[in-house]
């Protein structure tokens, strides 16, 4: 009984991430591949057929496989992500939020940018 529930939860996570990835195809600024990476990971725990389908997909399979094999992020994706994080930080600093929130979010985005830039490019 518990095992079935766990499998259903993994499948629900995988489906939710596939859905968000599909939305990301048409909504500017919403990433697609990171959601599909999580979807493939979750499917690997509870839905092997979906995982195999994602890995074999002609468009999304290669980035998922590159991430799994090398932890690689293409330079174009890195550059775009850093541009988007910079733009988000600029917009953030023009809001009425508390300064400590602005600093915290900006520092977190900078840390993610440094981590991401250090990843192999495959």
Domain match, 41 and 79 both: no
Domain match, 7 and 62 both: yes
pTM: 0.79
Count of residues in the chain: 122
Let me know: does 6 contact 46? Beta carbons within 8 Å.
Answer: yes
CB atoms within 10 A of CB 80: 12
Q: For 97-122, how does the pLDDT look when each residue is reduced to its tens digit (9 = 90+)? A: 999 999 999 999 999 999 999 999 97
d(CA 86, CA 102): 13
Domain match, 13 and 48 both: yes
Does some domain include residue 122?
no
Domain match, 64 and 10 both: yes
Q: For 69-87, how does the pLDDT look when each residue is reduced to its tens digit (9 = 90+)? A: 999 999 998 998 899 899 9
Query: What is the total count of domains within the chain?
Result: 2
């Amino acid at each position: 009984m518990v095992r079935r529930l766990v499998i259903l939860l993994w499948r629900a996570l995988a489906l939710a991430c596939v859905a968000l990835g599909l939305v990301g195809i048409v909504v500017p600024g919403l990433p697609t591949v990171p959601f599909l990476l999580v979807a493939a990971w979750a499917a690997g725990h509870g839905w092997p057929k979906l995982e195999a389908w994602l890995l074999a997909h002609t468009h999304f399979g290669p980035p998922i496989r590159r991430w799994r094999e090398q932890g690689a992020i293409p330079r174009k994706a890195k550059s775009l992500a850093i541009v988007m994080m910079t733009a988000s930080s600029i917009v953030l600093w023009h809001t009425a939020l508390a300064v400590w929130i602005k600093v915290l979010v900006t520092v977190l985005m900078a840390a993610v940018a440094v981590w991401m830039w250090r990843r192999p490019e495959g």
